[in-house]
Amino acid sequence: MSSIVQHDNGTEIIVTITDNDRVVDLTAAKSIIATIHRAPGSKITKEFVIVDAEKGVCKTALTADDVSVFGTYTLQLTVLFNGGNVFSSERFRLEVLPLLSKNK
């Protein structure tokens, strides 16, 4: 599980999408959307962009608002392919640590 600090801005999340330990080729992907469940009980969606389609690598950048709540976040990516096929990835966890002090 990776961790970042609450209110970090611009942190990139880079993911390799796999299915049963095999890379998912994203060449025909139309869109990749992550559903991110935050603590306590809220959720957001983020669009991912493809970095290397054949290797299944994609990324997104988190904003300070995305990580405004500390706790364990659960992410799941949904890939929509041309032709209508849909693939849902395994779940990933991200720990957002509380900000200890804020400069004013």
Report yes or no on 104 lying in a domain: no
Contact 89, 79 (CB under 8 A): yes
Give the number of domains in the chain. Answer: 1
pLDDT at residue 37, rounded to an integer? 94
Query: Is the peptide bond between 98 and the residue preceding it cis, with omega within 30 degrees of 0?
Result: no
User: Residue 73 is part of which domain span?
Assistant: 2-97
pLDDT at residue 74, rounded to an integer? 94
Tens-level pLDDT at each residue, the chain (104 residues): 689 999 999 999 999 999 999 999 999 999 999 999 987 789 999 999 999 999 999 999 999 999 999 999 999 999 999 999 999 999 999 999 998 876 65
Please tell me the pTM assigned to this model. 0.87
CATH number at residue 20: 2.60.40.3350
Contacts of residue 37, Cβ cutoff 8 Å, sequence gap at least 6: 43, 73, 74, 75
Concatenate the DSSP letters of all residues of 28-60 into one string.
Answer: TEEEEEEEEEETTTEEEEEEEEEEETTTTEEEE
Report yes or no on 55 lying in a domain: yes
Chain centroid, CA 45 distance in Å:
9
